[in-house]
Structures are given as C-alpha cells and as structure tokens.
Amino acid sequence: MRALVVRLDSFGDVLLAGPAVRAVAHRAERVTLLCGPRGAPAARLLPGVAEVLVWEAPWVGFTPPPVDRADIDRIVNRLAAARPDAALILTSFHQSPLPAALLLRMAGVPHIAADSVDAPGSLLDVRHQRAPHAHEAQAALDLAEAAGFPRPPGDGGLLRVRHAPAAQELTGPGPYVVVHPGASVAARRWSPERCAHAVRLLAGAGHRVVVTGGPDERELTALVAGRDGLDLGGRTEPPQLAAVLAAAGAVVTGNTGPAHLAAAVGTPIVSLFSPVVPAERWGPYGVPHVLLGDQQAPCVGTRARECPVPGHPCLDEVTAEDVLAAVEKLLEGGE
C-alpha cells in the first residue's frame, strides 16, 4: 500500500506530525509527505518518509499565494502520479482539511482521513473528531489510529528526527546550553535585550552558551551572543541544528520550530511560551521542560502575530534570573 500524509504549514508543524508518519509507515510500503516550502526541511528529517512533495497551498501561511488554475492542475497531476491508496490530512485545530481533501479526490485518492468539524460531503472517508485539548502530536496520532494506522509496537510516540551525527566542529567539546532567540512572529519572541541578559547571566554562572538562529537572524544572534556566547547564527542547516540541540544540556527558546526540534532529539527545554496559542497543544512534547510566560495574559488564544498588549507582558515580565533558575533546574534533572 502507498500512503500519503499531508501537512502543509510550518517546520514545527511537520515535526509534530512525525509520530503519525511513523505509524503510517509501519503499515504502508511507501509514504509520501506533501508539505509546504517552510515545512520541507523538517519533512526530510522524519523517519518513515520515502518521498517529499513540496507545494505552497493558497489557504496556508502568513502570505499565501493566489489561487492559480495551472498550479492547481500541476499539484493534482503530481498527486495522481504518486498513486496513493490512502491519505491522512493533518491540520491544526483551527484549520480545515477540506481544501486539501478536494485536491486529493481530484487526483483519484480512494481513501482519505482527516479531523473535520465541517460536514465533508464526499471528500472524506474517515471524518474524525479530535479530542478537545489534545496536543498537536497526539491529535495526529489519534487520527492515524482512526484511519487504520495504530502506533507501532515499541514506538513511544515521541518526536524523532534523523540528524547529523556530531556538532563539535561547530560548538567545540564540552557541555553547553543553547539559547535560540528567534521566532517566526514577533508575538512569540522574548525581547533581544532580555535574551542577551540571560546569556550573560548563564555565562556568569559557569555555563557555556551557544546561540542559534537562521540566516536572516544573524544580527539578532550577534546581539544576543555578545562577548559571552558562541554565535552560530546562520551556520546550521536543520540536520546540523538538530545535532547542536542534541548535544546541549538544555535549550532556551520560544514557541518556534527549533523548540520542537529540540524535543525531537530529547533535549530539555526552557520554553518562553506566549499564550497566543495554547501551550497544551503547542508546548514542548515528551521531554522535560519548564514553561515560562503568563499563560493567562490578555493575549491568550488570539493567535496574534504582533503582541496586542503594550509592553508584551506575557513574555517580557520573565526575567533572565527566571531563565537561569529554569535551566539549572533542568540540568539537575527537574521539570
């Protein structure tokens, strides 16, 4: 049996689909993952994925492309060429799977499963209802089981990735703590000044600090690292970043893709979590962690990209001292 898994949004979303992908791969001969451009680097790290199809859907993301008939025809033809026998459409709790289901039906996919609060007509064969407070990773696993792909024996259902075997050429030997200051939207970022203060405080307490970030975050990582941290901004592709995170004693980060990557390599996390989305659904999954940030702030549940509250109190009331205490708690084995 050939299977298709669809997860069209971001890097972290695709990582959270990993346990469900492994469940599908246990029963299927071949798994193709259809994802968007931002999720593609994560898709290539997931065990169980044989092929990655990349397509930017016009109903996903911050700046989605316009609907284009020729583009729709191309993706339908690519899906038809893959000849999947069954498909699993994974979405967040606030997204509809039905646009993707329509394309899959047009491509001739005979069996399609998804979570859907809307009546699907003939678009779904399995219309599943997700548990109200389920974490995104668990919700995907629940859907996979409902579609006939239970968790494989001996698979704990945690996040996992393939990654580079070592990172010492980047980090040097010995223990360290990672600080990852960036996030895709401003509402989920701790202020750079507080991040820089945390790096100085961690270094002063005897911790070696490595600061990570993407190619477009070099200015941010340089500011945060200062003279006390090792600046790896723009120097790590996802497999290398996974290796850097895997060798860390703890990772300090916001609600962003590298937080889920840290969980996928089993590293404890100090999560600076803005409640614009619920931590019960998007917080660190399956690893020791400390959640920092006011989870009852006025921005709760707004999905805001820019903080709607002056002063960004949900995160900027967290101090560098709070972060240091959380890091040392995790390094001592607490959570």
In order along the chain (335 residues), what is the average pLDDT of each group of 10 residues? 96 97 97 97 97 96 93 97 97 92 98 96 96 94 97 96 80 92 85 95 97 95 96 94 95 95 97 89 95 86 79 87 96 79
CA dist list (Å): 294 to 19, 79, 189, 271, 285 = 29, 44, 14, 12, 19
Query: What is the model's pLDDT at position 70?
Result: 97
Could you tell me the residue ranges of all domains in the chain?
A: 2-146, 168-331
Nearby residues of 213 by Cβ (< 8 Å), 6 or more positions away: 180, 181, 182, 220, 221, 232, 233, 234
| Closest alpha carbon to 314 in 326, 296, 289 | 296
Per-residue pLDDT, 4? 98
Q: Residue 120 and residue 85: Cα distance in Å, rounded?
A: 19
**Selection from 112, 137, 128 nearest residue 34 by Cα:** 112
Only one residue has tokens 């050939």, namely 2
pLDDT at 172: 87
In CATH, which of 3.30.1330.10, 3.40.50.2000, 3.40.640.10, 3.40.50.10490 is domain 2-146?
A: 3.40.50.2000
Please report the pLDDT score of residue 334 as a whole number.
62
**How far from 151 is each of 18, 26, 141, 210, CA to CA, in Å?**
11, 8, 7, 36
* Matching fold, domains 2-146 and 168-331: yes
Fold entry, domain 168-331:
Rossmann fold (3.40.50)
